[in-house]
Each structure stands twice: as C-alpha cells, then as structure tokens.
Amino acid sequence: MCVSVESYHGMSVLWYTEWLSPHEAHVHGILELLFDGYTKYQRVTIAKTGSFGLALFLDGFAQSTEYDEFIYHESLAHPAMITHGNPRKVLIVGGGEGATLREVLKHESVERAVMVDIDEELVNLCRKYLPEWHKGAFDDPRVELVFADGRRFIEETKERFDVIILDITDPVKGTPGVPLYTKEFYEKVRERLNPGGVTVTQATSLRYYERAFAVIYNTVASVFPIARRYKVFVPSFYSDWGFVIGSLDRDPLEVPKEEVESKLARLPLKYLDAEQYSFLFAIPRYLVERLSRYRDISTLSNPLEI
Amino acid sequence: MCVSVESYHGMSVLWYTEWLSPHEAHVHGILELLFDGYTKYQRVTIAKTGSFGLALFLDGFAQSTEYDEFIYHESLAHPAMITHGNPRKVLIVGGGEGATLREVLKHESVERAVMVDIDEELVNLCRKYLPEWHKGAFDDPRVELVFADGRRFIEETKERFDVIILDITDPVKGTPGVPLYTKEFYEKVRERLNPGGVTVTQATSLRYYERAFAVIYNTVASVFPIARRYKVFVPSFYSDWGFVIGSLDRDPLEVPKEEVESKLARLPLKYLDAEQYSFLFAIPRYLVERLSRYRDISTLSNPLEI
Amino acid sequence: MCVSVESYHGMSVLWYTEWLSPHEAHVHGILELLFDGYTKYQRVTIAKTGSFGLALFLDGFAQSTEYDEFIYHESLAHPAMITHGNPRKVLIVGGGEGATLREVLKHESVERAVMVDIDEELVNLCRKYLPEWHKGAFDDPRVELVFADGRRFIEETKERFDVIILDITDPVKGTPGVPLYTKEFYEKVRERLNPGGVTVTQATSLRYYERAFAVIYNTVASVFPIARRYKVFVPSFYSDWGFVIGSLDRDPLEVPKEEVESKLARLPLKYLDAEQYSFLFAIPRYLVERLSRYRDISTLSNPLEI
Amino acid sequence: MCVSVESYHGMSVLWYTEWLSPHEAHVHGILELLFDGYTKYQRVTIAKTGSFGLALFLDGFAQSTEYDEFIYHESLAHPAMITHGNPRKVLIVGGGEGATLREVLKHESVERAVMVDIDEELVNLCRKYLPEWHKGAFDDPRVELVFADGRRFIEETKERFDVIILDITDPVKGTPGVPLYTKEFYEKVRERLNPGGVTVTQATSLRYYERAFAVIYNTVASVFPIARRYKVFVPSFYSDWGFVIGSLDRDPLEVPKEEVESKLARLPLKYLDAEQYSFLFAIPRYLVERLSRYRDISTLSNPLEI
C-alpha cells in the first residue's frame, strides 16, 4: 500500500549544485544522502547521485564518483610512476579517498607508501562509505597513514621518496590548499625526492580554471629540470582535467613506448592503456594558445587562488 | 587555520527543490542536513534551511518550518476547538510533528487526545529532531499515541470524539492521503463525532491547488450540515493555505465575537488573536470567483488527486 | 509532422530566478520571452511564465504579473485615495506599468494625474507588451506623463498634490531607488502636498525585507503627523507586501467604515472590498514583535539599502 | 547615475537549463538573450551565456557555442572528407548554423555543396545572429541551399554525392530527427553516394546517450561495408561527443598518416591537427565495454529514440 513519490515525474528534490561561476552550474539530483556535515577542515557530502552513482563532494565540488573515479586516479598516479621506472618509496599528499593509494600499490616495485592527509575525519568517512575507492588499500602492510598538514610534513620529514603525488583540493581562496601550489612548496618537494625522483600534482580544470592550470605548470617548470603538463577527460568533472609532472631526471615524453606498454600491461587498469596514455599529453592547440597567455608563477607572497 | 568555504559568495550548494509545477519551483539552500531518508511511507528530510530555519520536508514539500509552523498549527487547531466550545475528547489523524497535538492540549477542557499517525518512524524522527514542535506534547498524560492507518482507525474504533482534526499530507496521486479526502471517509468521520462535534481538515494551497481546495470544501459540505472554508498565509508555503471545517451543529461564523476573544485570550498563542481570527474566513473575492468554477466532490471511485 | 518538445515531461528549460538570499530562490519557467534587455536604467524582462502568466521582471525581481497585479495595485492606490476623501490632483512617482495610474483614474474626483517615471523605455515596453496593465490609462486626457528622475521632479516642481503615490523599485544598493526612501525625500514630498494631503509608498516584503519595511515606516513616521503601515498577500511576491501611508491630517484608521464601503462600492475592483480593506491594516502580532526590533530611520547620509 | 544590477553578487537571474535526466542538469546564466521563440519546427534560443559566450539552443539543448563550435564542426566534417580523399560534391543534411558548410568549403576539391535544412526560419536566425559560425558560407557560389525535409530530399533527389554529412538534431522522441537514424534512411543515403562515397552522422553523447551512440553505430554498420565510430570532447556538451562514418570503399583507419597530415596542413583549422585526429578514433576501453552491451539497430518500425 505504501507508495513513496518524488514530485513531478520523478524529478529529484534534493540537489547538489556545483557553482562554476555566477553564470554556470552543474546540478546533481541526490537519490540518497549518506553523509553531509563538516569536518574540522571542510564540508563533506557523500551521496548517491542520479547522474554518476555514489559521489564524494568537498566544499561545493565533486571530488570523485563511482562512474569515473578510476579515470582521474589512474591518470594521476601512473604517468609519474612509469616515468620514474622503478619507484620503491612513494609519498601521497592528500588523497583522502584512498584511491590514489590503491593505484600506487598496484606497482610491484613499491615497498613503502606514505599517505599524509590533513583530515582524519574525511579519511574515516571514505573508509566507511567508499570501500570501492580504497579497496582495502589502507590495510596494506606497505602503507603508513599520517594525519598531518601536508606542507608541514614535507618541511619536517627527513625521508626521501621516489615519487611524490600531490592529490589535493584546488587552490580555492582561503583554503589550506593554496600554499601547496607555490614555488616554495615545490622546492621543498624537490628536496624530498631521491635522485631520479618524480612528482605530480593535480592541476585543476582546463575548461574552468585554465589560468590555474597554466600557472601551476609555470610554477613546477620554475623548480624542476623537467616539467610536463597533461590532461584527461573526466565526465563528472565536465572537463578535461589537468596534471603537471615535475621530474629530476627522466622526461615522461622520452619513456620508450614499449616500456610504457609493458608496464601498463602488468597493471589491472580500467582506463589507461597505451593508446590513451599517449593521448594524455596531447593538449589541443586551441588550448595551448589560450594557456600561452599566462606567464606568471605562484609564490607564497603572490599565490595562485581560484 | 581551517577555513571551510561554500562556493561563490556563500551561495548554498545543497538545495531542496519544491516543484510546484513543471514551470515553478521554490529552492531552499540547505545549511545543515539533519536527516534524509525513507521511512516505510515517505521520504523524510529534516534540515536547517537558510530561508526558514529548521524544516521538515516530506516527499518533496515543506511540511512545517521553525519560522512559521505556529501559523499553520494554530490556524488548523483552534477554529474547530473554539467552534465546538467545550471539547473534551479530541482525535488527530496525522500530525506527525506533534505540533497540532501541542495546540490541542492548550485547551483546558481537553481530557483525552488521541493521535493516529501511520508512520512511526516519522514520529520518532520528529520527536528527536523537532523538539520545538511537539514541546513534550507526546508525554502529556492525556495523550494516546496510535500508529495505524488513519482510515482504518476511523472505521474500526468504537470511540466518539468532540473534535477530529485531519492533519494529513496532500492527496498526491499514489499516496495514502488520497482516500482521506473523500465523501466516504468524511461519512465515517461524522459517525465518530459526538453530538455537537466538529471536524477540520487541512485543505491544500489556495494558490497552487485551488481546485483541490474547492473540491475538499464541496465534499465536506456534502456530508456535514455546516461546512466552512478558511485560509491563512503561511510564508514557507508561499501561499494562503486552506482548511475546511465540517460541523454537526454550531456554525464557526456564528460563535459570538466575545466568546472567540475570551477563549483566544486564555491560550498562549503566537499568531492567532481576535483580529487575525476574524480574517481567516475572509476569502478574497477573486478567489471566491475562481473557486466557484469547481463543482465536483471527491469519492473513492473518483477521488481528488493532485 | 512537426513536433516541438521541451525536455523531460515538459519541464521548462528557460528559467527566471529570483534570488531572495544566497539560500533561497523562486524559479519561474519561461514559456515565452517577449522581451529581455537593458534600458538605460535597468534590465527589463517581459515573459509569459508558467506560474503567473504574463509577468514583468526588473533587475532580478517580479514587479507584477497577470495573475495578481491587481492585488498589489489596488492595495497601493486606494487606501491613500480613500484616506484623503476627495483627491483631485494626484502624483505617481514610478509606476511604469501604468496600472497604478489605471487605479487612480477610477476615482471620479481626480481631475489631474501626473506620472513621473525615470525610464521612458520601460514605459514604452509596458505600453506595448502589457496592455492589460494600463488599459489605456496613458491616453486619458487627465494624465500628464513625465519622464524624469522622481526625486528631482519632486524637488523642482511648484505644483502641489492631494495624493502622492510612490510606486518605485526597492531600495537595492546602488540603484536610483535608494534616496526615495529617505527622510529628506519624504520632507520634500510633504512640501508638495496640499493641506489634507496623503502619500503612500510601497514598502517591500514583510517576509524577506522585514527590516526595510520597519525602517520605511519609521522614516515616514518621522516626517508625517500620521503614519500607518499595512500589507497584503501578493502570491507572485510569495509574501505579504508592505505599504506605508503618511498623512497630514486624516488617519486611515479613522475613516468611517461606511465611507470606506461606499467609496469601494463605486470602484470596479477585483480584490479590495470592505472586508479585505480592514484586513490590510492587521499586521500579525508575531510580525509586530519582529518589526519592533528596528528603531532606525533612513537618511541620505545613512540610507536604507537592501 | 544609472546603475543596473543583477541580484546577489552578480548571480545570473535568467538561466537556460539543459535537463540531462530527472537527476542532472547543466544551467547556463543568460547574460543577453538575442532570440527566443518557436519556428515551425522547434524552440530556438540564441543567447550570450556567461559560460560559453554566444550560444544556440534548440528544444532544450545547446547545439553550438562560440567557445567551442569549431571542435564539433571540424570533427564532424573533416574525417569523412579526408577518408574520401577527393570530394567534389557534398551534401549536408541539417547544419542550420552554416558552420559545417563553412568547414566543407575549406576543401579545395569541393565544386558543389548542397545543404538541406528543414527549418528556414532557423537558418535565417543563424545567418542574422551567428555570423561567426557561417562566416559567409551561405553566399559561396558553390553552395545550393534547399529548405526541405532531409529524408524526403534524400528519397527524391536523383543526384549523387561524394560525401553526405548528417548534421542533425538528436533522435528525441517525437521529433523529425528520429527516422534519420534508421537503417532504412541509411540505405537511401547509400544509394545517393557515388562510388567511393562516405557518409558521416553526428551520433550523440558517449556520456548521456551511450546506448544511442552504440545503436547508431550498429545501424550504420548494418548498411555500409565499412563503419567507424569516433568521438571528441566538446566542453559545452560536457561530454565526449560521438560520430559514425559509413564508407563504401575506404576505411578511415587505413588512410595513410602522411595523407592525413598533408590534408590537414592545408586546411585553416583551430582544433584538428594530426595528433588530435589520430585520437578521435581511440574510444576508451571502459566505454568500449559499456557500448558492447547494445546489439540492436534502429529501424523505422522500431526506431532509436532518446
């Protein structure tokens, strides 16, 4: 006898709105809200969306969704790992969902993976609600999980790593992410790399924050001998998403094609294969032209903010 | 150090949308979501809204809000109670928040108040999250709380009441509320009234469901010797809200003004006073004209549905 | 063969959004957009809405709609006209739609009506698209139409009037309306009234701008011997809407009931009758209490802005 | 003195909503609305959006925008033209904006281009409001513009073409586009191709209509000896967008890389270059897998509808 209805032909009533600008938004109908609340650092919303399945939103923006989180996480982790060639010690800054950790651990060379996230409550929520993201990665014996400010950790640790992955929130004005995109921070990161070390950072949206993507690249290029930018289309981000690699020694574009292929072939992946891998680095020329307009870098005294 | 931001100048990101039609909606920014889930009977959302404070939504529509729930509940309960004059036994069908019960118990004449709600989970959520609504009414020794289908209860009980208050959800197609607005149901209600008994039902929106308001009035008038319709403006309903009284004996419009005044004066109320009370029954003439177009009544075989 | 569709069960695709706050909005599906553009003074949108029929929006807010413009315009014009008793010369400041003018001209005593609107383009758009609003009022031989800044007109004219009606946009920060709600302006208005003169201003929303309503009342009361505030529910404003009368001599509340009735009876009205008229001045006590918190007035040096 | 404001920090008030499902939408703030109305066949909205500049919307969906129309139109036209190798006579069905025509005319081999669009009013609106789209293409002496139903034209014409480009609206239920994606229609198209002829159709969104993309491919493959599907990311479509080529003779994937490069080098393009061209055909494997679930084709008796 019970019938529960949503109004007007099943139109959702609860919506998550991503405000891209005062003139653009994406709205996600929420089928079921698993969690919505504030941790010490951010508003966390975990919900089953009509559009992308289970999703994690932080402070107004989708971080990853069931439909396509693997596109983002594979594309973030593997190019840096493959560029290094034989990473044994890996540091992840951020990455609360545990999915970047999951990808890193797929590499058999990895002996130790340290993940430093500022927000213990968020990590606990992800462990509880997003098991398909971390897939038990937090319990891998190679993993050390540290709850600390990533910047301070980088400054204070004596350890060095082969690969450092910066899986952090966008440099939104007033948030702790801002200094993590500056020249000063990248210099500290460089100091914490072993010889041959590689770092990669997520680098925002090529559509919505093209200036941010350009400036992050410029900043990394001002610190590392080799810097490469790349992108991948992530449907739930409605945009090509950007990444920037800083490398001490090896150029991602110089890794032999056969090496890329053989390494990818050994990893159980859903998105990346040799064909898509080569596409990552192909920025369309209209974007290259748009990006060329931005010449500045981000520094602590004049940081990039979006 | 921690800064938590909402995007774009504090614009809300989580919104509750009330779809009034495919061409009109009210959207409420959700500052904090206390509960969102399905009971056996309906989707229940309890949230702190930016617009009206704490609010209860059922299946897509605001039921009552911190800002103005007293307007609705005072206007629902007291005209029937005052019309009766000396109600000792009162039945409430629906009324999950406990606020109608709260108003009923303000009348010193009341010796027994039975509240029958189909949805025990909803009542428990209201007890937990909306203490300012029930204000402890559920614990009053005069109260009996029954979890049952209101229609079946009315059909099966042997008890008679002085006042029966129908505080139920709108007759949305496919929901259990539909039969509770039919001639057959009102006939059962009439049988459960003592001599001199009075019933009142909420009767939807004069703006959005004018046909429903008209048909409910027509239906009550087809069963009771005396029927009166009235309305009050409830800001969070964005509309004048309708009610219909069915009375066996006394006409609400014939209660002496001094009696109304003296009774209201003894009740601790926030909205109703003698002045507002007299205007409840003043339907604007443009609406009287619009309402006069609807001549039909609701029956089980041809029920009113919205 | 041609079928034109809207997406998803006839859901509107073009929407007008009234932002009440960063946490509340009303959204109107636009069935047909007749005009959208900028005059010298404001963004004007004239559209057929699904919710309220033809509607005029200025700078983000509904000004009047086919469904209920008469509620607003009758309630604005007639209490001041009736309070005066025998108005022959009337000034309207603002009132671009011509509907306030239409109401004024219904009074047979009126010999001259001057309407001063700053925005000639707006008036021309209303003449073209909203004939049901003005109903030919602009062509009445008693009318003089002046395109000028209302404030300057009031300051420079030598003429005096029996009734001055301020039918102007809300005092939104940065708009020309702000000074038209100040003590200094009301002093100029007072100077332009004949003995026994009456002025009335629209006074924003009792729901959304309760402080504005309170301050406008305080300001009028600081200038006129008699000040009265009143309200009416306008569905398309989703709120009780406020007005304030300033009177040199006669108190609106002291006009004999029979006089009100006989005057209203001679006017062809759709909303106001003697019953609703008396209701206008009945501010609910919860609002009286909320309004009592605001003690300040609006001045040029410290103006009310919303 | 004049100040025109939008409400709340410049938030748009007029929005175009693309309903992707009852649970997902993209909303575009309209800065200036140039045209909104109904032609005989569809609702046409031409507006300056905050997100993508000038944009054309048909029946609820963006068709092309100033920001990225060239990505869609270059990707639609050139692979078929290059696959043919030496197209002299080209037919475009649909393509109201004139941008596909613009791309076709860039090929020096083209001697005659016939464009058949059902909606003359739409084409006139595009000529008037979207000059940057057609760039004068309609006035090229090689062009014949026919206003007719594309299906009937294909059935009745005696002419044969080297390339036929289907630049038509999605097969939304109840619209004239539905039969233009069926086996029967593709058979007629095949008959109108010269030996070595190539056809290409737009094939909807890989994200939102993956089944449609799959079925269109299946259907083309059931009619043409060679069928290839490809995609490109179009930001204003928030998705990889699909296309399907049907070829009588030459396989798009077999065109020598040097030939592609030399042909592209001669065309003044903004998006396509040899690198991006090669990635058009690289469907990510997670999508290949999803697409493999759909085995049916579209026929007149059982057509694909979205």
Q: Bridge partners of B65?
A: B55
Residues of C whose CB is below 8 A from B279: 275, 279, 282
Give the chain A residue whose CA is nearest to the CA of D23.
A29
pTM for this model (two decimals): 0.92
Q: The domain C7-65: what is its CATH number?
A: 2.30.140.10
Helix axes B257-266, B69-84, angle to 10 degrees: 130
pLDDT (average), residues B216-230: 98
Residues of B whose CB is below 8 A from C73: none
Q: Give residue B9's pLDDT.
A: 60
A196-244: pLDDT as tens digits: 999 999 999 999 999 999 999 999 999 999 999 999 999 999 999 999 9
Give the chain A residue whose CA is nearest to the CA of B38.
A4
Question: Taking 70 as the threshold, does the pLDDT of residue B226 lie above it?
Answer: yes
Helix axes C69-84, C257-266, angle to 10 degrees: 130
Q: Rounded CA gap, A84 and A198, in Å? A: 6
Residues of D whose CB is below 8 A from A71: 284, 286
CA distance to A35, A44, A56, A167, C234, per residue, from A125 (Å): 8, 9, 10, 17, 46
pLDDT (average), residues A126-152: 97
Confidence of residue B7 (pLDDT cuts 50, 70, 90): low
Q: Rounded CA gap, D28 and D185, in Å? A: 35
Residues of C whose CB is below 8 A from A9: 8-9
H or E, element range at C26: strand C24-38
Helix axes A183-191, A210-221, angle to 10 degrees: 50
Q: D interface mutation test: which of A19, A24, A239, A272 has the most D CBs within 10 A?
A: A24
Neighbouring chains to B with at least 3 Cβ pairs closer than 8 Å: A, C, D
Q: The domain C69-291: what is its CATH number?
A: 3.40.50.150
User: DSSP letters of B19-56?
Assistant: EEETTEEEEEEEEEEEEEEE-SS-EEEEEEETTTEEEE
Q: Which residue is catalytic, options D167, D251, D273, D296? A: D167
A23-32: pLDDT as tens digits: 999 999 999 9
D157-198: pLDDT as tens digits: 999 999 999 999 999 988 889 999 999 999 999 999 999 999
Question: Taking 60 as the threshold, does the pLDDT of residue C162 lie above it?
Answer: yes
Question: Taking 70 as the threshold, does the pLDDT of residue B6 lie above it?
Answer: no
A45-85: pLDDT as tens digits: 999 999 899 999 999 999 999 999 999 999 999 999 999 99
Give just the sign of the alpha carbon dihedral A288, A291, A296, A297: negative
User: DSSP letters of C202-252?
Assistant: EEEETTT-HHHHHHHHHHHHTTSSEEEEEEEEEGGGTEEEEEEEEESS--G
Nearest chain D CA: its distance from B125 CA (Å): 27
Q: Which residues of A are catalytic?
A: 167
CB C31 within 8 A of CB C111: no
* Tokens linked to C68: 């209920």
ipTM of the complex model? 0.92
Q: Which residues of B are catalytic?
A: 167
Using CB atoms, pick whichever of A9, A233, A273 lies closest to residue D285: A273
Residues of B whose CB is below 8 A from D9: 8-9
3-class state of residue A295 by DSSP: coil
Give the chain B residue whose CA is nearest to the CA of C16.
B24
Lowest mean pLDDT among B174-188, C129-143, C234-248, D3-17: D3-17
Q: Rounded CA gap, D25 and D198, in Å? A: 35
CB pairs C-D closer than 8 Å: 115
Neighbouring chains to C with at least 3 Cβ pairs closer than 8 Å: A, B, D
Q: Rounded CA gap, D177 and D172, in Å? A: 7
Q: Give residue C11's pLDDT.
A: 87
CB pairs B-C closer than 8 Å: 101
Give the chain B residue whose CA is nearest to the CA of A45.
B14
Q: Give residue A246's pLDDT.
A: 98
Question: Taking 70 as the threshold, does the pLDDT of residue C1 lie above it?
Answer: no
Give the chain D residue whose CA is nearest to the CA of B17.
D23
Q: Bridge partners of B35?
A: B46
Structural domain spans, chain C: 7-65, 69-291
Q: C78, C80, C76, C58: which is closest to C130 by C-alpha?
A: C58
Using CB atoms, pick whichever of D13, D32, D175 lies closest to residue C17: D13
pLDDT (average), residues A91-119: 98
Confidence of residue B2 (pLDDT cuts 50, 70, 90): very low
Confidence of residue C9 (pLDDT cuts 50, 70, 90): low
Q: Give residue A176's pLDDT.
A: 86
Write the Ramachandran bin of D208: left for phi over 0, alpha for psi from -120 to 50, otherwise beta: alpha
% of chain A at pLDDT higher than 90 = 93
Residues of B whose CB is below 8 A from A61: 7
CB D262 within 8 A of CB D227: no
Find residues 1-40 of chain D whose CB sits inside 8 Å of chain B: 8-9, 11
D285, A270: Cβ pair inside 8 Å? yes
Nearest chain C CA: its distance from B5 CA (Å): 13
Q: Which residue is catalytic, options C119, C167, C170, C240? A: C167
Q: Is D172 on the interface with C (CB under 8 A)?
A: yes
CB B253 within 8 A of CB B228: yes
B22, C28: Cβ pair inside 8 Å? no
CA distance to A281, A282, C37, D99, D271, per residue, from D280 (Å): 15, 12, 41, 20, 12
Confidence of residue B10 (pLDDT cuts 50, 70, 90): confident
Q: Give residue A7's pLDDT.
A: 52
D276, A270: Cβ pair inside 8 Å? no
Residues of D whose CB is below 8 A from C4: 38, 41-43, 59
